[in-house]
Amino acid sequence: MEDLYRENIIEHYKNPSYRGKLDPHDISFADNNPLCGDHIQIDLRVDKEGKVSEARFDGHGCAISQASADLLLESVIGKSIEDVKKLTRQDILDMLGIDLGPVRMKCALLSLKVLKAGVYGLGEATDELVE
Amino acid sequence: MLDVEKIRADFPALSREVHPGVRLVYLDSTATSQKPDSVIEAMNTFYRRNNANVHRGVHTLAEEATSLFEQAREKIARFINAANPREIVYTRNTTEAINLVAHTWARKNLQAGDLILLTEMEHHSNLVPWYMVANERNLRLEFIPITPDGLLDLESFEKLLELKPKLVAFAHMSNVLGTINPASEIIEKAHQIGAITVMDAAQSVSHLRVDVQSLGVDFMAFSAHKMCGPTGVGALYGKLALLESIPPFLGGGEMIKEVKFGSFTPNDVPHKFEAGTPAIAEAIGFGAAVDYLNGVGMEAVAAHEHTIIEYALDRLEEIPGVKVLGPKADKKGAIAAFTFDGIHPHDVAAILDRDGIAVRAGHHCAQPLHNKMGIPASTRASFYLYSTREEVDALVNGIYKVKQVFS
């Protein structure tokens, strides 16, 4: 079987580079995964050209959800908001380098859901954002 | 004593491999039990030989299907010592059984301001149906608190009874803490103030001998799939006079005696609660599951599980960082939910799965209880008549491996 707990995932979980909050921020959004009580908040700062200049996530959850949040934020630095909107579930899976079953997929996609709800300025994070 | 190896041979799924060379260690029977061959065969035979709709038509297959379906009802009634098989209403599961009481008895009998008494250790299925009827009818809700060691606080219960609840709904066994609640005492005290009692027996009927007549409970809900039977069928037990006093649940075929343009007359109990074609094969499988458990003997099942949970608690508590939720083995069923060193239960469960060990991770549909305990989630290992000490050892070894991954 593929190993969900590869070294890089554990490393991002234990020593995340993007954990924290940004105050002030330009975009902030938070959501839960009701299945397991995971919670993620993402704050972004956006520069004059509409590119992400800083990003932080806060919250709690399993290694997969927290590591994917860290990997995701690492990938959005310097990206335009329009490009952030185009991120898909496959991008997350590529970053993690693993394939996931339907249950763990929700853990992995929570941060992308929160990020996209934030950049679209939506009131809630729906599964449609990560389909 | 129960011959575990002989029992395990009855459950085909227990001998499968989860990954190449890795045998299943199934510790998630509280979510759903595995199924013995006899149950699978009973349903298989029905579809291969007797398949017809029930209570319709007079052809041979329809008669056979109806007989098998009603015989299963009689077996289920005897299993919980109901006075009459008509006191068994087939439902889809425990949840639907509780919803049935909330939609019928509660709507008919409760008025604005009336109180429903629940407990802090309930599964969502014994909370949300009451919240829904409470919202609709402006009812009040109170919760019997739990003590720090995971028991119902019976002193608080007695005080709450002074508020004169009209209905007391409680779990016989907690699906997280494993706590076996003192059902007789709760029911007796509730009756003293004239309250109706609803017992969620989803976790208890599968593990203990439950006798509805000696308990005196008014309504009791349970599911086949937790007691070696199939999914898709469960039962509501209700005292006959109560069932006769309440309106039907869903409308449709079978639940009627007569239909005219614009009106209908409901059928007799229990059929008036069983609209539409039921899960016939599953009901027959439910009967076969009862036969299977009777063959083993519920006393033997309970005794075996007690030795397993005693051993499991001893071994789990040896592990630094493991904290088992709920009371000691003498007050609980074979459920060990635990937290481990701040490691998320999803991670614990996923790493255990590498060794073929199936446990549940999350809040187990008891979010208010987890909030009360100040934890977002827990990992739950649960045991049944086919569980062994070796499986407990595998779990313990697996937890040490989890620690290694995160160290």
Inspect the interface and report whether the beta carbons of A37 and B405 lie closer than 8 Å: no
Which residue in A has a C-alpha nearest to residue B402's C-alpha?
A: A5
Assess B403–A contact: CB distance below 8 Å, yes or no.
no
Query: Which residue of B19, B344, B376 is in closest CB contact with A1?
Result: B19
- Using a CB-CB cut-off of 8 Å, the residues of chain A touching B348 are none
ipTM for the whole complex? 0.84
Residue A2 has pLDDT above 60, yes or no: no
Return the CATH architecture of domain B40-295: 3-Layer(aba) Sandwich (3.40)
Q: Which site among A2, A4, A6, A100 would you substitute to test the B interface, given the most B Cβ atoms closer than 10 Å to its Cβ?
A: A4
- Using a CB-CB cut-off of 8 Å, the residues of chain B touching A5 are 347, 350-351, 405
Domain boundaries, chain A: 7-120
Query: Which residue of A10, A36, A39 is in closest CB contact with B346?
Result: A36
Between CA B120 and CA B127 the distance in angstroms is 9
Assess A105–B contact: CB distance below 8 Å, yes or no.
no
Between CA A46 and CA A62 the distance in angstroms is 28
pLDDT at A98: 83
Q: Do domains B4-27+297-406 and B40-295 have the same CATH topology?
A: no
- Using a CB-CB cut-off of 8 Å, the residues of chain A touching B357 are none
- What lies within 8 Å, CB to CB, of B117 at 6+ separation is B141, B142, B143, B144, B160, B161, B163, B165, B167, B168, B169, B190, B195
pLDDT at A1: 39
- Using a CB-CB cut-off of 8 Å, the residues of chain A touching B406 are 10, 14, 63
Which CATH number is B4-27+297-406 given?
3.90.1150.10
Residue B194 has pLDDT above 70, yes or no: yes
- Using a CB-CB cut-off of 8 Å, the residues of chain B touching A100 are none
Q: For residue B375, give how far its alpha carbon lies from the nearest alpha carbon of chain A (Å).
A: 9
pLDDT at A18: 97
**Is-catalytic flag, B228?**
no
Residues B250-276 have a mean pLDDT of 93
Inspect the interface and report whether the beta carbons of B370 and A10 lie closer than 8 Å: no
Choosing among 3.40.1190.20, 3.40.50.300, 3.20.20.70, 3.90.1010.10, the CATH entry for A7-120 is 3.90.1010.10
Catalytic residue among B24, B31, B343, B365: B365
pLDDT at A35: 67
pTM of the model: 0.93
Inspect the interface and report whether the beta carbons of B344 and A104 lie closer than 8 Å: no
Which residue in B has a C-alpha nearest to residue A15's C-alpha?
A: B406
Query: Which residue of B346, B351, B405 is in closest CB contact with A107?
Result: B346
Percent of all residues in chain B with a pLDDT value above 90, rounded to a whole number: 94
Residue A116 has pLDDT above 70, yes or no: yes
Q: What is the pLDDT of residues B297-354, one digit of tens each?
A: 999 999 999 999 999 999 999 999 999 999 999 999 999 999 998 899 999 999 999 9
Query: Which residue of B19, B344, B354 is in closest CB contact with A61?
Result: B344
Domain boundaries, chain B: 4-27+297-406, 40-295
Inspect the interface and report whether the beta carbons of B362 and A35 lie closer than 8 Å: yes
Q: What is the pLDDT of residues A39-98, one digit of tens each?
A: 899 999 999 999 999 999 999 889 999 999 999 999 999 999 999 999 999 999 999 988
pLDDT at B350: 92
Q: What is the pLDDT of residues B70-90, one digit of tens each?
A: 999 999 999 999 999 999 999
Contact B165, B195 (CB under 8 A): yes
Residue B70: both structure tokens together: 């009603």
